[in-house]
Structure 1
């Protein structure tokens, strides 16, 4: 099964940091993650030079998963040019285009 995650809630850091990332790092997640999309303050997860950013970058390099920050959210926070290598910014049209051929079975919003 292929999934994509949308991180929009204030609880996203705990879920991503303590559950999803450790499972992905240990190859025990149970689903292939095609991509992750980050909203609001969750765009800071993709900030270069942070522990979370480094972990996400390593997974992206290993799996090729899409990592995308909401463009307006990143711009409002002044981080659009400070994201980890490989991360993109965009809106739903870019997300749909990037994941269109990935064969995503389920989109999970956290």
Structure 2
């Protein structure tokens, strides 16, 4: 089964991702193929360069071909993207100060990226 995760609730990345999902991915025991992860609100902070969770996740994402996308508007609002609010949703906002492989986008970019590896389940945490 292929899954995509949406980290939308408080502490989803620092608790559920960091202490459950990521260790399972690292150990090869997660049980599903993860094809993408979308981060909203303060959950994007774990993807900053130098953050231990983000660095580990970037390594696993590269090895396993997992999409790492942050909400472009959330990233602009937090100073972690180059672009303006007017550009949000167009695919032209670029991540900055984030671990390798992270892209910014909104739902149109998420749908396009996941269409290449369509998940069977989308799980919002």
Q: TM-score by structure 2 length?
A: 0.85
Unaligned residue ranges in structure 2 (runs of 5+): 82-95
Cα offset, 1:11, TM superposition: 3.2
Question: Which of structures 1 and 2 has the bigger CA Rg?
Answer: 2
Aligned to 1:6: 6
Deviations 1:14-71 (A, max 9, x none): 1111100000000000000000000000011211111011011111111111000000
Indicate the SS of the match to 2:80.
coil
Aligned to 2:111: 96
Unaligned residue ranges in structure 1 (runs of 5+): none
* Backbone CA RMSD of aligned residues: 0.8
Q: TM-score by structure 1 length?
A: 0.97
Whole-Å Cα distance in 1 between the matches of residues 15 and 54 of structure 2?
Answer: 14
Indicate the SS of the match to 1:48.
coil
**After TM superposition, where is structure 1 displaced by more than 3 Å over at least 4 residues in a row?**
none
Whole-Å Cα distance in 2 between the matches of residues 95 and 31 of structure 1?
Answer: 20
Greater relative CO (CA pairs within 8 A, separation 6+): 1
Aligned to 2:71: 70
- Map of 1:1-110 to 2, 5 A cutoff? 1-12=1-12, 13-80=14-81, 81-110=96-125
Task: Provide the aligned length of Structure 1 versus Structure 2.
Answer: 110
